[in-house]
Structure 1
Amino acid sequence: MADDIFTRIDHGRTSDEVVQQVESLILDGVLRVGDRLPGERELSRQLDVSRPILREAIKTLEQRGLLISRHGGGTFVADVIGEIFSQPVMDLIGRHRRATYDYLEYRREVEGIAAAFAAQRATNADAELLTEIVDAMRTAHKEADFEREAALDVEFHNAVGEAAHNIILLHTLRSCYRLLSDGVFFNRALIFEFSGSGDRLLSQHIAIFESILAGDSDNAKKNAELHIEAVARTLRQAERASDWARVSSLRLQQRCNNGGTEQSNRKARTKAK
């Protein structure tokens, strides 16, 4: 973790001020789930507070469910995103297929808004990060590295959400991507491996990216919406193709079984004659 995300506390130096700074970093998405905080001595130095004050602040943040300490392992940002969708809810969603398309419908609207905001608000740092991700996506696509490309897909959408600079959008989208990464809705391999879809997905991401960098909020929104619509359409096609392949295989197997039986029957009739 970079050392410069924490700033020196100038006035008061109370545990409340430490709590407020760490909470703001989590709320703004600077500190993410699983991020490890610097050790006690280093963090107290960066914040310029005493170690007893820091310990009191860490205890408060743990009680609020924002941090978790592991004995001998350090202090980490808790899984605050995972709590938005509890495990029973995730399991329930996963068992009912129609939830997948409701999920994509919801993402279409939310990501359209996020992309429009990003086009209006993206900073130079946001643009630099998006450029790095898109370059990496191009490389992964060229090398046919599906796992890397799928991971970068989520990273790209996360970065767009961050560039929108809206806290509620940011955490809502992150919870959506958690469900996607965990495979609650569908196997992303179906999308990337479906004929020609990888090329289309890359071009769609680039269109969103270029609209954001151009500051064109209308096109950014439209391209984001078209992208999610294309994902839903490709998913339906891929699922149908997969189902066709399954049924065709079963038919062929059954025909072979019947053919073998018929051949045996012919042999038996010949012997009887």
Structure 2
Amino acid sequence: MADDIFTRIEHVRTSDEVVQQVESLILDGVLRVGDRLPGERDLSRRLDVSRPILREAIKTLEQRGLLTSRHGGGTFIADVIGEIFSRPVRELIGRHRRATYDYLEYRREVEGFTAAFAAQRATTADTDLLTEIVDAMRVAHRDADFEREAALDVEFHNAVGEAAHNIILLHTLRSCYRLLSDGVFFNRALIFQFSGSGDRLLNQHIAIFEAILAGDSDKAKKSAEHHIEAVAHTLREAERANDWARVAGLRLQQRGKNGAAEPDNRKTRAAAK
């Protein structure tokens, strides 16, 4: 964890000031779910507060559900993203494919104006991060590392969401991507492995990235929308191809059970006549 994300508490040194600083770091997405806070001695030094004040602040943050402590393991950012849907609803969605395309329709609209905001608001740090991710995507694509590409896909969209600098968008999108990462809707690696789709998806991400770098909000919006439309199209094609393979396999299996040599037997009988 970078040394400079925590700043000295100025003026009145109270636990409320510490709470406010940590809450802001969580709200702005600087501290993410699972991030570990520095040890008590180190953090009190960085904040320039006494350890009793720090303990009181941590207790307040735990009571608010923002921090969680593990015995002997430290203090971590709690699961502040949470779940958009309850487990029964997530399982229900997973059993009905039409929900997948409603999800992608939702993402098309939201990610369109998110990319537009990012083109207008991205800082140098934002574009540096996006550059690192896109470079890593190129490497993963070159190496045909589909799982890595799929993981970087989520990181890319997360980074675009961060570059939009809208807190509500940031946390809404992170919740959406969690459902995607958990495989509620579809196997993302399947998309990258489908014939020719990897090249197209990489180029679509690069188009969004370049539009954001150029500050072209209209192009960024259209590129993001086109990307999600292409994902939906590729998913349909991949599912259809898998269904064809499944049916063909069943036919082959059934012929084997019934005796594939039957046509040859008919030829033998005809020759005997």
Q: Same fold (TM over 0.5)?
A: yes
Number of the residue aligned with 2:135: 135
Number of the residue aligned with 1:31: 31
Number of the residue aligned with 1:233: 233
Percent sequence identity is 87
Q: Is the 8 A contact 1:119 1:214 kept in 2?
A: yes
Number of the residue aligned with 2:85: 85
Shift of 1:184: 0.6
Range with bigger deviation, 73-82 or 199-208 = 73-82
Number of the residue aligned with 2:188: 188
Deviating beyond 4 angstroms after TM superposition, the runs of 4 or more aligned structure 1 residues are 263-266
Number of the residue aligned with 1:69: 69
**TM-score, normalization by structure 1:** 0.95
Number of the residue aligned with 2:208: 208
Q: Is the 8 A contact 1:115 1:221 kept in 2?
A: yes
Q: State the aligned residue count.
A: 271
Number of the residue aligned with 2:199: 199
Task: Name the amino acid aligned to 1:140.
Answer: A
Task: Please tell me the root mean square deviation across aligned C-alpha atoms, in Å.
Answer: 1.9
Task: Name the amino acid aligned to 2:250.
Answer: L
Name stretches of at least 5 consecutive residues in structure 2 with no aligned partner.
none
CA deviation vs aligned residue, 1:60-88 (integer Å, no higher than 9, x gap): 11111110000110000001113333333
Q: Does 1:56 align with 2:56?
A: yes
Map 1:94-105 → 2, pairs under 5 A:
94-105=94-105
CA deviation vs aligned residue, 1:107-157 (integer Å, no higher than 9, x gap): 001100110000000000001000010011001101111111111110000
Number of the residue aligned with 1:175: 175
Name the CA distance, whole Å, in 1 between partners of 2:92 and 2:28: 30
Name the CA distance, whole Å, in 1 between partners of 2:27 and 2:64: 13
Q: Is the 8 A contact 1:197 1:234 kept in 2?
A: yes
Q: Is the 8 A contact 1:14 1:53 kept in 2?
A: yes
Shift of 1:260: 4.1
Q: Does 1:243 align with 2:248?
A: no
SS of corresponding position for 2:76? strand
Number of the residue aligned with 2:220: 220
Number of the residue aligned with 1:107: 107
Name the CA distance, whole Å, in 2 between partners of 1:260 and 1:57: 75
Shift of 1:92: 2.3
Q: Is the 8 A contact 1:146 1:192 kept in 2?
A: yes
Name the CA distance, whole Å, in 2 between partners of 1:85 and 1:61: 24
Map 1:107-126 → 2, pairs under 5 A:
107-126=107-126
Task: Name the amino acid aligned to 1:156.
Answer: F
Number of the residue aligned with 2:11: 11
Range with bigger deviation, 79-88 or 1-10 = 79-88
Task: Name the amino acid aligned to 2:188.
Answer: R
Name the CA distance, whole Å, in 2 between partners of 1:253 and 1:207: 45
Cα 1:83–1:51 shift into 2, 3 Å: farther
SS of corresponding position for 2:11? coil
Cα 1:170–1:96 shift into 2, 3 Å: same
Q: Is the 8 A contact 1:85 1:175 kept in 2?
A: no
SS of corresponding position for 1:186? coil
Shift of 1:256: 2.8
Shift of 1:264: 10
CA deviation vs aligned residue, 1:166-194 (integer Å, no higher than 9, x gap): 00000000001101111010011220111
Number of the residue aligned with 1:22: 22
Name the CA distance, whole Å, in 2 between partners of 1:81 and 1:194: 31
Q: Is the 8 A contact 1:62 1:68 kept in 2?
A: yes
Number of the residue aligned with 2:158: 158
Number of the residue aligned with 2:45: 45
SS of corresponding position for 1:208? helix
Task: Name the amino acid aligned to 2:169.
Answer: L
Task: Name the amino acid aligned to 1:138.
Answer: R
Task: Name the amino acid aligned to 1:214.
Answer: A
SS of corresponding position for 2:126? helix
Name the CA distance, whole Å, in 2 between partners of 1:87 and 1:67: 23
Name stretches of at least 5 consecutive residues in structure 1 with no aligned partner.
none
Name the CA distance, whole Å, in 2 between partners of 1:138 and 1:70: 38
Number of the residue aligned with 2:254: 254
